[in-house]
A and B are shown apart, each in its own frame.
Chain A
Amino acid sequence: MTKISRRAVLGGGVGLAAAGTLARPYIANAQAKTATVWQNQGFVRAEDEAFKTTVEDYQKASGNRIDLSVMPFMALGQKAVSALTSGDVPDLMFFDAPSYILPQNAWNDKLIDVSDVVEPYKDKMSASALLNSTFYNHATKKRSIYLVPIKQAATPFHYWGDLVEKAGFKATDMGNTWNDVWNFFKPVQTELRKKGAQYRKIYGIGLQITTVGPNDGNNLFSHFMIANGGQDIVTPDGKLHTDDPKVREAAIKAVEFMTGLYKDGFVPPEALSWNDADDNNAYHEKLFVMDFDGTLSPELAWISHEKEYYQEMRVAALPLMNDGKTQMPCQVGAGGGFIPKGAKNVEVAKDFMKYFIQPQVMGANLKSGLGRWFPSTPEIVKNDPWWLDDSKDPHRKPYITEGVLQPTIAQYLGFNPAWGQVNAEQIWGQCHADVIKNGMTPAAAVDKGFKRAEAIFAKVTFD
């Protein structure tokens, strides 16, 4: 056996270290035109295929290389937060719903300003897409664009048309205002329960009156606020307007109506403790008739069930506000690409997003995703009849109508990072629980919720 001396071991170690050091610049040079991109897995496989096609087309057009990692939605969210915290970041993150990550990180100056990428298309973009991409940076003391918005999503009504008909009603009976739509499903439940033992526990409304969240209950409450004229609870300047009597009145009306539906027995009692998946699962099992949930995911998840998808499931766009006159705007979210500070190849990351934001590229990509997301540039929808063609897909037209043709507003998350904490604490869910379980009046519950929201907002100052 050959005896290895201490000198040989130490020498070998030093040699290896030196080789590693010398080899590094070569690797860096080899990757000079490569951008590392993290993308969240799509809800349907077609979304991932579409993204890969966009990447391949870009590589051919530019000569650059995209090193793509695709990971599940939740995993990317956690990985993105960890990466931004540790500083070990990719060149670009492409995320469907980054609205809970971006405000805090833009505030802390951890993102690259991408105004130059968005600027050429700014005039053509929807105002809500632009607002959803604009965040306050506490280091530069100004708002700027930190997300290249490619896709947007709205929240429509989803209901089982066959159950409505079985109960003896037609969709045209639904009424014109927000509250009318919710009330429509009360007699649907009553009539269905008369139809036999299998409907003993069916509910009319899958109202996400949840105190658990994390997202659905907050989104629902925002829409109730909008319907009752309280959409200015937070304004784009980041200010909270809980002292506005109109806002307070809208919140009281919202809590009163929602808790009324619950207390009258039209909402599954478990809804107080639902997580974001519970309503989807129960909806698919036909345990209630109507759900108000983001995107077309309830339908697209069942696209392989032809009977249900084409004949039984229905989607309805938002009606008029409760004033009976104004079209109710939908609060839409935006997804797209953002570049963390510390990215090694910002140039290629921006170049890729400049390619992606072109209307023909954006449109082709989102069409492949079956219309679950719609473009941030409305003209794409207006110029391509596919988006509103309901001859082959019954769900896309009402969804796109709501998200693109009808008025929209941006999420409050971008206006002030404090709104993220208001949502995370499930303050509105707590308001409902205070009325339902603790016997508070809606006004007292709202005042308690507003007080907590004010305390959270007071910690965030823009100066």
Chain B
Amino acid sequence: MSGTQQTVAIGRGYAATRSVSRAWFGGVHGADYVWAIAFALPYAAIFLFFVIYPICFGLWMGSSPALYAELFSDPRYLTTVVNTLLYVVIGVNLKMFLAFMLSGFFIRKRWWNKALLVVFILPWATPALPAYMSIHWFLNGQWGMLNSALYEFFNFDGPVYLNERWTGLGANIGAYVWKTTPFWTVILLAGRMSVPQELYEAASVDGATGLHRFVHVTLPLMANLYLVCTLLDMVFALGDFNSTFFVSGGGPAMSTEVLATLGIRYAFTLAVPNLGVAAVMSALPLLIPLVILLMRKLRMSEGQL
């Protein structure tokens, strides 16, 4: 081996060692490394205790195949799965569409827009429990505000909304949309505000009017953010318990139950928490692909809106 070759080989070996070292130590050595570890340790411990441990404990609680046999033999389970899918797909998409449209409204520069935005955010800022319980009473067929108003103004007795599956499920979805639309509107509003004005100006110079500017500038630039928000909200909606529990209570006859409320019912009404965990775990085949897709989307959309 010539001297040059030897130098190259040594160089390669050194480079390989260095890259391994970089992977392990991040280029930090000595006292700096110890300090880095000392600072990272509390976060790692918190992550282990409050994230990894509960997840593993949950997986362990719901690990027995007998639990799933029992779950699938429950006549309510299939209805619950269908309800959960409807809740997530309709609730999230309706909300994100509304939030996207409303963000377009709130970005307009009018003097009263900011004041209106403050009022608009109130449902999101209101604590969930009293808000959903108010909706439950608002919809009461006999004495609720909605039917009382219908009778007062139109001399018409409205239906008993929470006595029917579809109106009950609609009420749950509507309440969830009402409660959380303001949050996503603000997120999408922030996204719209980040779109460089120069692009709109350039489009205007090219003769683009309102609809064209929306289709060719706003939509492409907001698409990633919209998708990420939708995926993220689907993950939230899958685990949402409050709306169903406090608006329809899962009724009538458990026909509007979703997986989160069924799980809580098993855990705390029946006092069989393992079955409750299994009910929630059965959403994993939907949840895991959503999270993977979300992570991929977040990685791909680096540097974009």
Residues of A within 8 A of B (CB): 3-6, 9-10, 77-78, 81-82, 85-86, 100-101, 104-105, 201, 203, 210-214, 268-270, 272-273, 275, 281-282, 285, 287, 420-421, 424-426, 429-430, 433, 437, 452, 459
The distance in angstroms between the C-alpha atoms of A100 and B141, with both chains bound, is 31
14 further contact pairs, Cβ within 8 A, besides A211-B251, A273-B160, A273-B252: A6-B30, A9-B35, A85-B274, A201-B143, A203-B142, A211-B254, A212-B252, A272-B160, A272-B163, A287-B142, A421-B270, A424-B269, A425-B254, A452-B75
Chain B residues lying within 8 Å of A86, measured Cβ to Cβ, are 57
Instruction: Tell me, in angstroms, the Cα distance from A203 to B142 when the chains sit together.
Output: 10
Of B31, B61, B141, which contacts A5 at CB under 8 A? B31
Q: Output the nearest chain A residue to B276 by Cβ-Cβ distance.
A: A81
Neighbour of A273 across the interface among B57, B168, B269, CB < 8 A? B168
A269 touches B141 (CB 8 A): yes
Give the distance in Å from the alpha carbon of A101 to the alpha carbon of B70 in the complex.
20
- CB 8 Å contact bits of B266-283 with A (1 = contact, 0 = none): 111111111000000000
Please determine whether A6 and B273 come into contact, CB atoms closer than 8 angstroms. no
Residues of A within 8 A of B268 (CB): 77-78, 81
Quick one: which of A4, A101, A287, A421 has the most chain B CB within 10 A?
A: A421
B residues 221-278 in Cβ contact with A at 8 Å: 248-254, 265-274
When A273-B162, A273-B252 are in contact, do A420 and B31 touch as well, CB less than 8 Å? no
A214 lies within 8 A of B252 (CB): no
Closest to A103 in B: B271
Residues of chain A contacted by B250 (CB below 8 angstroms): 212
With A270-B160, A270-B162 already in contact, the answer to whether A82 and B254 are too (CB < 8 A) is no
Q: A430 CA to B254 CA in the complex, in Å?
A: 9
Q: Is the pair B75, A100 in contact by a Cβ cutoff of 8 Å?
A: no
Complex contact A270–B76 (CB within 8 A):
no
With A and B bound together, what is the CA distance between A203 and B271 in angstroms? 35
Give B141-163 interface residues, CB cut-off 8 Å to A. Answer: 141-143, 160, 162-163
Report the minimum CB–CB distance from B170 to chain A (whole Å): 14
Given A214-B269, A268-B142, A270-B163, CB of A275 within 8 Å of CB of B34: no
For B83, the chain A residues whose CB sits under 8 A away are none
Question: In angstroms, how far is the closest chain B Cβ from the Cβ of A273?
Answer: 4
Bound form: Cα–Cα A208–B122 in Å = 35
How far does the alpha carbon of A268 sit from the alpha carbon of B144 in the complex, in Å?
12
CB distance from A285 to the nearest CB of B (A): 7
By a CB distance below 8 angstroms, the chain A residues around B76 are 425
Contact, CB under 8 Å: A269 / B269 = no
Q: Name B271's contact: one of A5, A101, A269 (CB within 8 Å).
A: A101
| Nearest CB in chain A: distance from B25 CB, A | 13
Contacts A9-B34, A210-B251 given: A85-B61 contact, CB under 8 Å?
yes
Known interface pairs A85-B61, A452-B75; A269-B34 also in contact (CB < 8 Å): no
Which listed residue, B31, B61, B140, touches A270 by the CB 8 Å rule? B140
B205: interface (CB < 8 Å): no
Task: Tell me the residues in window 61-120 of chain B with beta carbons closer than 8 Å to chain A beta carbons.
Answer: 61, 70, 74-76
Residues of B within 8 A of A282 (CB): 143
**Residue from the set B168, B250, B254, B268 with the largest chain A CB neighbour count within 10 Å:** B268
- Assess the A81–B271 pair: CB atoms within 8 A: yes
Neighbour of A424 across the interface among B57, B265, B273, CB < 8 A: B265
Residue of B nearest to A85 (CB): B273
